[in-house]
Amino acid sequence: MTSSGRRTVYLDHAATTPMLPAAIEAMASHLGRTGNASSLHGSGRAARRTVEESREAIAEALGALPSEVVFTSGGTEADNLALKGLWWARLKEDPRRRRILLSGVEHHAVLDPAVWLAQHEGAQLEWLPVDALGRVRPAEVRAAIEEDPASVSFVTLMMANNEVGTLQPIQEVAAIAAEHGIPVHTDAVQAVGEIPVDFAALGVDAMTVSAHKIGGPYGIGALVVHKETQLVPIVHGGGQERDVRSGTLDTPATAGFAVAAAHAVKHQADEGQRLIALRDRLINGITSTVPGALLSGDPIDRLPGNAHLSFRDCEGDSLLLLLDARGIEVSTGSACNAGVAEPSHVLLAMGYDDQRARGSLRFTLGHTSTGADIDAVLDNIGPVVERAMSAGLQNVGRNN
């Protein structure tokens, strides 16, 4: 509820989704128990049992082997481990492998470590172009690889875009890279629970997932790493997690993560259809009543819960705050980049002009979303856009 007593409409599930009651219960049941999963006494073994049972449940949900699930503190650490770990492992095998192929629509958890590798380790970043819908074409990946396959370190391409919701052809890209023995990493943080995700079937070498996007706790995620893929650790200490990621394991969080993953995958098909119906009603309602409102991303091959729209002559931040004042919580894009007064790098890569890139909102639905939430947005979006447009025109007049 807001301070005025109005019900809060939460449509920012891509940033984080409310924890599932079953995940809260699973996590809470372990919070009062003592035991380090690396200890050999009874309490330690009990904690280890919980961790390994959780690992097995997560692996089953993701189509992976339990030994392939490496727990991390979340998606950002998992992406860093994937990029830096692959880079140093591949470079150690062959110093010619300095090219990293990636798209310009990746999350900053991928972009920033890639840029760091370029600035500090001599990596050569090659940007795979995206079309107007935000999708990489497999033919472009093949062309980039075949320029000089021996010099490619790895390919990283997200499974589903966190801003516009477009799905990427991961399986095709992985098959092309495999022809040349080149590993592929995919950030699947937004995909799990929304679309089918099967690690083995995808053919990738590493895959990032995060618990708080699927109804699990904050502060835990995983990098799923193929059993034959070599990574150089970026965190050293106790040698936990196959000596790939040291650190004391958060036993309660693994339990909550496991419950959330199992639930998300079990209900994915039915929940996906429910969210598509809500999402399409939201998109159609906005685009048919708000002049100049345009859908971003692929209209069909997109995440079920994602509706990203751009608005003419408006600032996205203004729209967000005006909606927030009415008890409707949405986003202008990635929560990890919120508050930065710059147009979205995703939309610019898709060919948007500066104004359209700034005047965008991301509505993302999840397991708590209802038809009443959609009604609230449709009742308020028109007046909010009119007010934001008026404010924008007044500011233009003052600057002229």
Which H or E run contains 81? helix 75-93
Task: Look at residue 42 in the predicted model and tell me its pLDDT.
Answer: 97
Q: What is the pLDDT of residues 143-196, one digit of tens each?
A: 999 999 999 999 999 999 999 999 999 999 999 999 999 999 999 999 999 999
Q: What is the pTM of this model?
A: 0.94
Last residue of a domain, one of 218, 234, 266: 266
Which of 266, 295, 330 is the C-terminal boundary of a domain?
A: 266
Which amino acid is located at 92 in the chain? K
pLDDT tens digits for range 290-327: 999 999 999 999 999 999 999 988 899 999 999 999 99
Q: Give residue 399's pLDDT.
A: 46
206 and 313 assigned to the same domain: no
User: What pLDDT does residue 3 have?
Assistant: 52
What's the half-sphere exposure (Cβ side, CA atoms, 13 Å) at 231?
29
Residues 303 and 258 in one domain: no
pLDDT at 1: 57
pLDDT for position 5? 60
Residues of the chain with pLDDT under 50: 393, 396-400
Catalytic annotation, residues = 336
Query: Strand 152-156 relative to strand 124-128: parallel, antiparallel, unpaired?
Result: unpaired
User: Which contiguous run of DSSP H or E holds residue 285?
Assistant: helix 268-289
CA 81 to mean position of chain CA atoms? 16
Domain membership of residue 2 (yes or no) is no
251, 266, 281 - which closes a domain: 266
Would you report the helix, strand and coil content of the chain in percent, each value rounded to 5?
45, 15, 40
Q: Structurally, how many domains does the chain consist of?
A: 2
Range of the domain at 327: 9-18+268-399
Q: Domain check: are 178 and 214 in the same one?
A: yes
Neighbours of 102 (CB within 10 A): 21
Domain assignment present for 47: yes
